[in-house]
Structure 1
Amino acid sequence: MELKDYLRILRRSWITVLACALIGTLGAGAASLLIRPSYTSETKLFVALQNSGSVAELQQGNIFTQARVQSYVETVSTPAVLQPVVDALGLDTTPEVLSGSITATSDVKTVLISISVVNPSPVQAAAIAQAVADSLVNVVDDLERPSRGDVSPVKLSIVTPAIAASTPSSPNVRLNLVLGLLVGVTVGIAVAVLRSVLDTRVRGEADLRRITEAPILGGISFDPEATKNPLLTQSAPQSPRAESFRQLRTNLQFAHVSHRSKTVLVTSSLPGEGKSTTATNLAIALAQAGQSVALVDADLRRPMVADYLGLERSAGLTTALVGRADLDDVLQPWGDDNMYVLSAGQIPPNPSELLGSEAMKQLILRLEAAFDAVIIDAPPLLPVTDAAVLAQQVGGVVLVIGSQKVHTTDVEKSLSALAMVDADLLGVVLNRLPTKGPDAYAYSYYSNDGHTTSTPRRPKSVNRSEPGLPDSTFEQLLNGEPRSTSRLREVRNRGRGDN
């Protein structure tokens, strides 16, 4: 991954990183409060030769002293030095245990020995440090004294007496907080990267680009109100949602400009990605642009278009395909624009066979002859084969991808299914994109007011004298009685009148 990928991961998971940082800092603070304070007391000794002589002798003596200092440092932790300390102070411990709290060090370039003692009591720490220094002076004097009883050539002198510390040496609260913060941030970043690697959901364009170079026709931001008000006409005219479908309409027209067929199939990989609302709103956007549009609900398993638009669903596509009614009779006008809807009709037991039949092919040709654009809402690609069957009979396919609803493997399977039937993929639509963050999709045009219409526009045929499909007409169609009104001729005549 590149640096920008890591930055995108951090932007996506900044809450996780922040939470881990806070947990690490709070944990370090709590540990600092729970740890019993310890105090450190230190004393220093100077090692020197007792005899004096010429300069050469002093230089040799200095080399001798430096060589012996390290041995004296090691001697500090021996029972010979510590047992007298235990006895003198009456400590309830052993030399071996006591040596764990004592640290003796020396600089190789000096003849100084530093002895530090850590203890929960500052007074006790100072007493032990002083006692250890005194004991070391005596032990070294005994060890270096010649056997015939002369004076020891080496003398240790205490140059810095041990004193009781006024502040604890541990815990170091400030250092612990900094370390806790760093550890928390590190863990948070590791968790974010690991989760990004293991999470195969498509979140935005960057994830999609890893699996396909198909054109992105548009992106639709997630709107919590879309569940109640899914239609484009229920949003403010200059709202981000309305602008997204206008951009989708424009991009689709450019992507479809070289195709002879006027039919566009809208599908998705799995249910719940928003293909039906996308197909419906795309048809509305095209109609608002002045085109005559036919919206066909070819999802014969879970039809939703009629419910969104408030239309009759008893007779429709299946009614026309099985020959119980003519296409003219089941087209329903909707809205104030030149838009007609062919609902799904009754759900058949053999949707794939119906959609792949010659009757379906002829139906599409009739619609293309009468309308400027035909939008077909098809079932998802992966659960059933209906969309793949239909894709062979249309001019192009638009694949709707629901952000965080579908995995990359599902999208790859859908693309393979379309490629297998030699379908013409016009592009993809990213739906349900977040409104903020690295995967956000925003526009520069916004509504001046927050007003939205909550009631969808009803079909023009309802309670009006214009030709439509009242309940009695559907009863006739369901009973097999034909009608003579030509809906397709009406569309053609309206198109000539507008021009």
Structure 2
Amino acid sequence: MSGNDLLSVVRSHWLGILVITVLMTGGSLGWYALQPKVYAAESSGIVVAAGAENLGLSLAGDSLAKSKAKGYQSVGESILVAESVIRTLGLKESAPDITRSISVSVPLDSVEIRITARSSDAQTAQNVADAWVAALASQVYELDKGNASPGTEPVTKIVPLAKATLPSAPVSPLLTATIGIGLAGGLLVGLGYALARNHFDRRIRAASEIERLFGLAVVGTLPLDKRLSEKSSVLESTSVVHRVPGGHAMAEALRELRTNLNFIDVDNPPRILLITSSLPSEGKSTVTSNLAATIAAAGRDVIVVDADLRRPTVHQVFDVLPDVGVTDILSGRASIDDVLQEWGPNPRLRILTAGRIPPNPSELLGSRAMEHLLKDLAQRAIVLIDAPPLLPVTDAAVLSRVADGTLVVARARKTTRDTLYRALSNLTRVQGRVLGVILNCVATKGQGDLNYGYYGAYVSADESRDTIPPRSGMNPTSQPGHAGVSVDGNGFEAHSPWQGPAKAAEITSQAMLSGLGHAIAGPSNSLTNSSDTPSFLAPESQWRSPSDGRGRRSAPPS
């Protein structure tokens, strides 16, 4: 895992890391509050030797004192000294217990003996330290006097050096150390939690994951829009060119998706596009409807076909009649012109609803009549098919054989790698052509936001005032001050010299995509090497083979 990957994991699970760190730091503070406080007081004495009349005797005495000090350390830790201190201070502790609270140390090459006493009471620690030095001096005197000649004083003795000071703060537990350990432990445990969540979390969060794991192009990333949280609807109003009520992020993302589709296969532009998803509630109908409105806003004819014959929703999105549609044409009860409905805000967009729900949807969608219907519609306009999800039913997989290409909608932070893998596998099994993936509901803040906030702050002058109605006989998209768009004979968008800032961004996107296509194509100066292969599909993609562009994968991505 690289540093960027680790940073991405931390950003994704920062809240969990913060909660764990706070809990562990609070737990360490609770432990600190419950622990008994221990105070330490230090007293000391020095070993002196008699006979310092001349320099030679003084040096000999100093060497003797140093050697004696090391021996006196064991005396200071003895039970005899502890019993003497207990009698002197009237303590209730036993000699072994009080001995364990005492430490005796002799600095290197020194005649000093240091006594450190620890107790839950500061005053007791001070008294024990002073009494211990006095008891040690008395015990050493008695031992050395017994070894000396009768009537003579011991050669060495211990003299108390300084009184112990009253400790003002406990030495255990330490507040700073407790907080530091709790904070460090919380961060480590939180990071481990984040790494574990990231390892077991199979949800797709960013477009880079799809490109890295599946080798498929992400032809569009659509931001999360709160206006679509309750019901599917068309956000872009095509009655006024390039005006989006309530925001610009979704509109710009849809225009970018529209532009990307122009470069998928320039030699044989797809006329029938199947839009589906792995599971329900991933936004395929919303994406289909808004993409169709965006294409129609560019002056191109588009037909939306509701091929979800089990749970049709397109008629609700566009608010058209649901009673007649695909099933009526397939059964011969009506013709295309009888049931094709124009969308009020833009007559270039027409809708073919599902019609009556049949008992055999898969058989109808896989029939020759359905194939002929779609080919007839493709002669009139670009056809966008809103198909059922791939995993619950086989309808979309059956239709993918008729369509020029399939776009799979995945919802960020909901669609998992495994479900997307299974959905793509269903398409490859029937030789369906996958053009790419549309990542829907990408967060506009935090990881993977793709800087959508830019569109909310950048508003062109013509978008901030009322739009001037088009003159008679003039294409509305060719007015000065607007992002003019028209369609040439090859299906490309031709731009007028009067470009608004929003359209300038789209032109830049087209130029970048064109450069990418030339880079992929190599010396041939063509965006594609084969009419069957989309330029946005990575050459190393495991979802296609070199011969037909539709490979297979043996195991889900990990």
Please, what TM-score do these two structures have when normalized by structure 1?
0.82
For residue 401 of structure 1, give the secondary structure of its aligned residue in structure 2: strand
Confirm or deny that 1:120 pairs with 2:123.
no
Mean alpha-carbon deviation: is it higher for 390-399 or for 252-261?
252-261
> Could you report, residue by residue, the CA deviation over 1:74-126 in whole angstroms, capped at 9, with x for unpaired residues?
44333222122122222111122223322333333433332222222221111
* Displacement of 1:361: 1.2
Q: Distance in 2 between matches of 1:114 and 1:209?
A: 70
User: Any stretches of 5+ residues in structure 1 without a counterpart?
Assistant: 453-494
Q: Distance in 1 between matches of 2:440 and 2:265?
A: 20
Q: Distance in 1 between matches of 2:90 and 2:218?
A: 83
For residue 359 of structure 2, give the secondary structure of its aligned residue in structure 1: coil
* Displacement of 1:374: 0.8
Name 2:341's counterpart in structure 1: 332
Q: Distance in 2 between matches of 1:70 and 1:363?
A: 105
> Could you report, residue by residue, the CA deviation over 1:210-244 in whole angstroms, capped at 9, with x for unpaired residues?
42221111211112221346312364286111111
Pick closer, same or farther for the CA change 1:68–1:393 going to 2, 3 Å: farther
Confirm or deny that 1:358 pairs with 2:368.
yes
Pick closer, same or farther for the CA change 1:146–1:87 going to 2, 3 Å: closer
Mean alpha-carbon deviation: is it higher for 159-168 or for 422-431?
159-168
After TM superposition, list the pairs within 5 Å mapping 1:100-249 onto structure 2. Answer: 100-144=100-144, 147=147, 149=149, 151-226=153-228, 227-228=230-231, 230-233=233-236, 235-236=244-245, 239-249=248-258
* Displacement of 1:362: 1.1
* Displacement of 1:292: 0.6
Mean alpha-carbon deviation: is it higher for 396-405 or for 55-64?
55-64
Pick closer, same or farther for the CA change 1:346–1:153 going to 2, 3 Å: farther
Pick closer, same or farther for the CA change 1:14–1:60 going to 2, 3 Å: farther
> Could you report, residue by residue, the CA deviation over 1:235-281 in whole angstroms, capped at 9, with x for unpaired residues?
42861111111111111221243435411111111111111100111
Q: Distance in 2 between matches of 1:177 and 1:288?
A: 61
Pick closer, same or farther for the CA change 1:66–1:345 going to 2, 3 Å: farther
Q: Distance in 2 between matches of 1:65 and 1:230?
A: 96
Pick closer, same or farther for the CA change 1:143–1:211 going to 2, 3 Å: farther
For residue 438 of structure 2, give the secondary structure of its aligned residue in structure 1: strand
* Displacement of 1:171: 4.2
Q: Distance in 2 between matches of 1:232 and 1:187?
A: 44
For residue 324 of structure 1, give the secondary structure of its aligned residue in structure 2: coil
Confirm or deny that 1:342 pairs with 2:344.
no
Q: Distance in 2 between matches of 1:410 and 1:63?
A: 84
Q: Distance in 1 between matches of 2:273 and 2:303?
A: 11
Pick closer, same or farther for the CA change 1:246–1:81 going to 2, 3 Å: same
Q: Distance in 2 between matches of 1:125 and 1:163?
A: 9
For residue 375 of structure 1, give the secondary structure of its aligned residue in structure 2: strand
Confirm or deny that 1:386 pairs with 2:395.
yes
Name 1:413's counterpart in structure 2: 422
Confirm or deny that 1:310 pairs with 2:319.
yes
Is the Cα contact below 8 Å between 1:396 and 1:426 reproduced in 2? yes
For residue 356 of structure 2, give the secondary structure of its aligned residue in structure 1: coil
Q: Distance in 1 between matches of 2:157 and 2:108?
A: 18
For residue 124 of structure 1, give the secondary structure of its aligned residue in structure 2: helix
Q: Distance in 2 between matches of 1:396 and 1:98?
A: 86
For residue 394 of structure 1, give the secondary structure of its aligned residue in structure 2: coil
Mean alpha-carbon deviation: is it higher for 156-165 or for 17-26?
17-26
Mean alpha-carbon deviation: is it higher for 194-203 or for 132-141?
132-141
Is the Cα contact below 8 Å between 1:218 and 1:429 reproduced in 2? yes
Q: Which amino acid aligns with 1:27?
A: G
Please, what TM-score do these two structures have when normalized by structure 2?
0.74
* Displacement of 1:71: 4.7
Q: Which amino acid aligns with 1:204?
A: A
Name 1:77's counterpart in structure 2: 77
Q: Distance in 1 between matches of 2:310 and 2:413?
A: 24
Confirm or deny that 1:47 pairs with 2:43.
no
Aligned residues: 450
For residue 81 of structure 1, give the secondary structure of its aligned residue in structure 2: helix
For residue 338 of structure 2, give the secondary structure of its aligned residue in structure 1: helix
For residue 232 of structure 1, give the secondary structure of its aligned residue in structure 2: coil
Higher relative contact order at CA 8 Å, sep ≥6: structure 1 or structure 2? 1
Name 1:480's counterpart in structure 2: none
For residue 295 of structure 2, give the secondary structure of its aligned residue in structure 1: helix
Q: Which amino acid aligns with 2:374?
A: I
Name 1:290's counterpart in structure 2: 299
* Displacement of 1:37: 3.5
Confirm or deny that 1:401 pairs with 2:410.
yes
Name 2:3's counterpart in structure 1: 3
Name 1:436's counterpart in structure 2: 445
> Could you report, residue by residue, the CA deviation over 1:108-158 in whole angstroms, capped at 9, with x for unpaired residues?
343333222222222111111112222222333444556465644443232
Q: Could you tell me the percent identity over the aligned residues?
A: 34
* Displacement of 1:18: 2.6
Name 1:422's counterpart in structure 2: 431
> Could you report, residue by residue, the CA deviation over 1:419-475 in whole angstroms, capped at 9, with x for unpaired residues?
2223222111111111111221334333759xx9xxxxxxxxxxxxxxxxxxxxxxx
Q: Distance in 2 between matches of 1:391 and 1:229?
A: 24
Pick closer, same or farther for the CA change 1:229–1:420 going to 2, 3 Å: closer
* Displacement of 1:190: 2.2
Q: Distance in 1 between matches of 2:123 and 2:246?
A: 80
Name 2:19's counterpart in structure 1: 19
